Amino acid sequence: MLLINIYELKLAGKNNMQNTDIMYHGSHNYFTEFDLKHVLEGSGKIKFGYGVYVTSKYSSAAHYSGQKAQSEGENFVYTVAVPSLTDDNYIMFKQPVNAKIVMRTENVLGEKIPDKVKADGKLFRKYLANTLTGNDDFIGEKAAAEFLDNKIGVDCIVWPYSWRNPSLGTNRAIFNVNKIEIIRIDRVCLDASKHLIQDTVVPVFQLNNEV
């Protein structure tokens, strides 16, 4: 996928998108803009929080495109531009929360956050969900994501693509669809194990130039 990556990075610069990272999203559905109304239609879970799930691994996005139980037929990989990570615009799963994020959150909530919660991004997210809604189910997760995006200036939750080898890349749950730009859409084919079949990538859309 190296040649595709090089092309995409040039395309991002060509369209004057600043401070963005190139990531990928897999889906059984074809669309030209993200809509969080469909957030549970993939795996049916929000294990890592409410938002659009993207990954730094093209092959992982392709695999995810076939995860829906009834996903038979076409599969798509979306190449997207998302906000680059800064010191205080993301929460890392199972890692301490940045002190600036904690301070901003405490100021808005008007309460001190327990040390245990500050030491784990997952607990921090769940704490916000419970504080805002009284529970940490889907409604709580949605409220926490909207609070972090609108009130605290946090763009996403981040976790490793591989827990055994974090250097392989990251996955992210982007809270706000307006911070995601679709650059390219590919139709892909998967094998029986729902892994990408090499040399089956067919572009069907690219920014400012439909294929």
User: Per-residue pLDDT tens for 75-109?
Assistant: 999 999 999 999 999 999 999 999 999 999 999 99
* pLDDT tens per residue across span 126-153: 999 999 999 988 899 999 999 999 999 9
pLDDT, mean over the chain: 87
Residue scoring higher pLDDT (6 or 146): 146
3-state secondary structure the chain: CHHHHHHHHHHHHHCCCCCEEEEEEEECCCCCCCCHHHCCCCCCCCCCCCCEEEECCHHHHHHHCCCCCCCCCCEEEEEEEEECCCCCCEEECCCCCCHHHHHHHHHHHCCCCCHHHHCCHHHHHHHHHHHHHCCCCHHHHHHHHHHHHHHHCCCEEEEECCCCCHHHCEEEEECCHHHCEEEEEEEECECCCCCECCCCCEEEEECCECC
Mean pLDDT value across residues 167-190: 95
Whole-structure pTM value: 0.86
